[in-house]
Chain A
Amino acid sequence: MTVVDISQLRREAIWSRLWDRLIPYVFISPFYLGFMAFMLIPIAFSLFLSLAQWDGMRSIELVGLQNFIDLFQDKRFWNDLRVTMIITVICTIVGPAGSLFLAVLLDKIGERLAGWLRAIFFLPSVTSAVVITYIWKQLYSAEYGYINAFLQRFGLPAQEWLKDPNLVLPSIIIMLIWTGLGWDALIFSAGLKSIPQELYDAAKIDGAGDWAEFWHVTLPLLRPCLLFVLVTSVIFLLGIFAQIQLMTGGGPLHASETLSLYLYTSGFQYHKFGYASAIAVILTVMMFGGSWLNFRFVRLEV
């Protein structure tokens, strides 16, 4: 009787030990199943496709680095790379600078009003890019847009904001900066709040003016925030899609076409999946490169 009990107890103990070992894997398995299916395998397949030619129907033909060689000889690729870089560089410089300025001002006025203003500046961050783009497209419209009507009221000439190759990028950039301003300002605001008041007091005693105070106290202590803002903007801007596609479709004559748009067109209109995957690989590498540059820049400069 006792012997049976003990062996049963032992068996139960073994089972429960085994179950304890297994349970973590059971808990993470739903995530990792999805992760395999929708992330890891597609990423691996993307890398593989970038070395192949495929239209999605016939068999996949391995071509080595041919897609990349073709890309580097493709004028449209270089044009799109240039457009992507112009948008990214200008927006990551002007945007965070503007939002930092805004955050510093907001930090100096009454908290109640500042809270309301922050909420207003934050609106575009919760609004769909589709909606934002159409409002701005309407504002920019040459014949009946508000901006041209405004200019004409002051006797200035109307502009073809979205059809003039020289104006299309500035127009898009203004919209993008407007969109991101509040989000970045909010993060800077959080950073400013975490700076202890004593440091400012100490700077005052040392006779630092407003500017010196900003340069020697505020900015160095905002470093983590600055890094976060720069990295997220670079990744966001390099991949910008909806805004361009809906605003101009990349026109006029590819003047506003970004790499992401070219990727979409190659893949989903021309069914050149290999070529599109090669662009995806380049875009991904650019995002990592951009993040890395920011890490270096922020560490060295500030």
Chain B
Amino acid sequence: MGRRQRILKTGMVLFLCLFAIFYLFPYVWMMAMSFKPDGEIYSVSIFPRQPTLEQYKRLFFGYQFGPQYNLQYKYGAYYKNTIIVTLISLVLVLFFDALAAYTFAKFNFRGKTVLFWTMIGTMMLPIYATLIPAFWLFSKLHLVNTYQALILPAVVDAYGIFLLKQYMETIPDELLDAAKVDGAGAFRRFWQIILPLSRPALGTLAIFRFLMVWNDYLWPLVMLRQEDMYTLTIGIAQMQMRQGMVVWGVQMAASVLATVPVIILVMVMQRQFISGLMAGAFKA
């Protein structure tokens, strides 16, 4: 490697590292604010002079200021709701997506092409194409403020079927035929052969869906009216203005707790996620 190239490379490394620090700044700021006491909230130093867990405590035990004001947040409930909705919808969507993908990948049946393309045709549609009728439907079914309202639409996922079908088509038919000769029914073949072999694709899809439901905002905003049913995103959004005051510290603490576990999870599963993402990118 020539001298000129070495300098160039060092320059690039330097630039990228500086840029990354700059890029990371909003996260640093979020963390910093969540550990500041009220008196320092508006100071511009990154490191709190007197770091405190006060803002985190307030999320769970309320916020007393002045003699008559006591703000209570149901942060525990937001967290619980988000976990319940995310996990249940995740299990259901993976199962039904995989079952449908298996059928499209390994069976021939009348109407297959039409059914498949109807599904693909709606894959790119924005939520706005269904928002108002779906809102009306769920209100008529008295499902406003329920888990079902958040879970049911999250289980219908054409993209996942598409992704899994691409993957399952690479599983050799001989494996399935052998199992069939041994007397395994269609569902047994799915459960014992297809599902275990599709684990990489299922993992990718799981992270996708997890992020999508965990971070969703518009649909829960339309569906949730009671604070005990709020998910994290709605809860954090509603914290902004409470009794006419902005509570940045509490809000940043809430944001940290809602974000950091997700970041850790994705980092742990990073390799899987990124390879799946890339595979998806080229096929789509």
What is A's interface to B at a CB cutoff of 8 Å? 20-21, 23-25, 27-28, 30-32, 34-35, 37-43, 45-46, 49, 56, 102, 105-106, 108-110, 113, 117, 119-123, 126-132, 134-136, 138-139, 143-144, 146, 149-150, 178, 181, 186-187, 190-191, 194, 224-225, 228, 235, 238-239, 241-242, 246, 260, 263-264, 267-268, 273, 276-277, 279-281, 283-284, 287-288, 291
Contact = CB atoms under 8 A, between A and B. Distances in A.
Interface string B150-165: 0011011010010000
Contact of A128 (B27, B161, B232, B267): B232
Interface string B103-134: 11001010010010011001011111111111
27 contacts: A24-B103, A28-B104, A34-B152, A34-B156, A35-B119, A39-B122, A39-B125, A39-B158, A42-B134, A43-B129, A46-B129, A46-B130, A102-B19, A117-B17, A122-B266, A128-B233, A130-B233, A130-B255, A134-B240, A136-B26, A138-B33, A138-B248, A194-B282, A238-B126, A239-B128, A277-B132, A280-B131
Among B12, B15, B125, max chain A CB count under 10 A is at B125
B46 to A, nearest CB: 9
B44 interface: yes
B124 A267 contact: no
B132 A267 contact: yes
B132 A190 contact: no
Contact of B217 (A35, A117, A241): A241
B136 interface: yes
Given A27-B102, A126-B266, A146-B44, 14 more contacts: A28-B99, A30-B99, A34-B156, A42-B133, A42-B134, A105-B12, A117-B20, A120-B20, A128-B259, A129-B233, A135-B252, A186-B274, A239-B126, A246-B237
A25 B133 CA distance: 27
Given A28-B115, A241-B218, A42 B259 contact: no
A31 B100 contact: yes
A30 B118 CA distance: 16
Nearest to A246: B237
B96 A30 contact: yes
A105 B26 CA distance: 23
B39 to A, nearest CB: 13
B217 A129 contact: yes
A39 B133 CA distance: 10
A288 B24 CA distance: 34
Contacts of B103: 24, 27-28
A130 B129 contact: no
B186 interface: yes
Among B152, B156, B233, max chain A CB count under 10 A is at B156
Given A108-B12, A130-B233, A139-B29, A228 B284 contact: yes
A127 B12 contact: no
B63 interface: no
B59 interface: no
Contacts of B26: 132, 135-136, 139, 178
Contacts of B274: 186, 190
Given A31-B97, A34-B155, A127 B281 contact: no
B236 interface: yes
Contact of A40 (B96, B122, B152): B122
B134 A38 contact: yes
B194 to A, nearest CB: 11
The 3 A-B residue pairs whose C-beta atoms are closest, nearest first, are: A190-B278, A42-B133, A42-B130
Given A34-B156, A131-B30, A144 B129 contact: no
A27 B99 contact: yes
Given A119-B267, A273-B136, A24 B27 contact: no
A21 B112 CA distance: 12
Contacts of B79: none
Given A27-B186, A31-B97, A288 B132 contact: no
Nearest to B30: A135
A34 to B, nearest CB: 4
A280 B125 CA distance: 10
Interface in B206-247: 211, 214-215, 217-218, 222, 232-233, 236-237, 240
A28 B202 CA distance: 18
A131 B156 contact: no
Contacts of A134: 236, 240, 251-252, 255
B259 A109 contact: no
Among B97, B215, B233, B248, max chain A CB count under 10 A is at B215
Nearest to B139: A56
Contacts of B133: 41-43, 45-46, 49
Given A24-B109, A42-B137, A49 B132 contact: yes
A276 B132 contact: yes
Given A28-B103, A119-B270, A149 B44 contact: yes
Contacts of B33: 138
Contact of A146 (B12, B29, B130, B263): B29
B184 interface: no
Contacts of A41: 133
A280 B129 contact: yes
Given A27-B186, A276-B132, A287-B124, A38 B20 contact: no
